[in-house]
Amino acid sequence: MLFALMGLLELFFGKKFPFKFVYSDEYWMVNIGKHVFPVRKYRLIYERLIALGAKRENFLEPGPALDEDVLRVHSPRYIRRLKAGELSAGEINLLELPYSPDLVKFAWLHAGGTILAAEQALVDGLCLHIGGGFHHAFADHGEGFCVLNDVAVALEKLRHDGRIKTAMIVDCDLHQGNGTAAIFAKKEYAFTFSIHQMDCYPANKPSSTVDVGLWSGEGDDKYLAALRDHFPRLYRQFRPDMVFYLAGSDPLGGDQLGGLTTTKDGLFERDMIVLEGARCLGIPVAVVFAGGYARDIQDSVAVHLNTIKAAQKVARKWAPPPPPTSSPA
């Protein structure tokens, strides 16, 4: 009886989460010591989703990316030395994470997760990876907590498999997507958009297709006006086969690694602009969560959960109507 009632409710209100999440418990088990990068946030988001009623079938568990997929983006020399533990002290400094074989596994698993999320987005229209977004990784080196550029690896894999021809990367992490911009410079099939804070890391910001720079202290008004200046116009002009959305939570005011003053409501609005614009045009979106370093980890988690809320809102609005069902038994 209860199941029949739940079924009816689902029929009226749509599924609670009409898309899948990609998540692995191994994401937060990597030991990086006491570090500003809060790997625990992945687990906290997962736990909140369970508390909100997400079921086992809502989650997909990724495996590590294949080396052949990683090597479409990263140089063989970097990958070989990374796996063999042969990075120099200077390279590890640039990474700003303690090197370990577990860190290598972590990077491969997130890349596999973003591949899976992108593939699933092509099926469902939307998929959220509770991980990924390591946009500071370049083809031949890692930096700023980013070992492998998971979004670039996924984009190139989907192109290689003939699933997409073009893609747009909408990078709303507080930090400029320097690795992504460099990897796709002059590659016309990938449109890279980055909205970021100018006066912070990375000091050197290679040009994305479109860069929007904001300054320390700026918040919702400037941020949202700049975003609305570009979306959904850029979607209509470029018409990508899919969108990768880096929904970083570090533009939130008070972030330890940023100086913007955007609010939780403002970032929810940001998510709606990015997601709704794409879904209105029928463009599939894979979301990755990227950075977020609030003093209280729950603030970063809240911003990421709001992205999921925005995805629910957008998916309900634009999902195709459910197929007719036979009368319940």
**Site residues (CB under 5 A) for Zn ion?**
173-175, 248, 250, 291
Nearer to Zn ion, 132 or 291 (CB): 291
CA-nearest of 171, 130, 128 to 312 is 128
CB of 172 to Zn ion, least distance (A): 10
Which residues are within 8 A (CB) of 51 and not within 5 positions of it... i.e. 6 or more apart?
none
Nearer to Zn ion, 240 or 291 (CB): 291
Nearer to Zn ion, 267 or 283 (CB): 267
CA-nearest of 249, 185, 276 to 45 is 249
CB 190 within 8 A of CB 169: yes
Nearer to Zn ion, 171 or 220 (CB): 171
CB of 135 to Zn ion, least distance (A): 8
- DSSP 8-state class, residue 26: G
CB of 300 to Zn ion, least distance (A): 11
Shortest Cβ contact with Zn ion: which residue?
291
Distance CA 235, CA 4 (A): 41
The CB density around residue 4, as the number of other CB atoms within 10 Å, is 10
- First-to-last CA distance in the chain? 10
- Locate 292 and state its tokens: 């977020």
Nearer to Zn ion, 153 or 174 (CB): 174
CB of 162 to Zn ion, least distance (A): 32
CB of 291 to Zn ion, least distance (A): 3
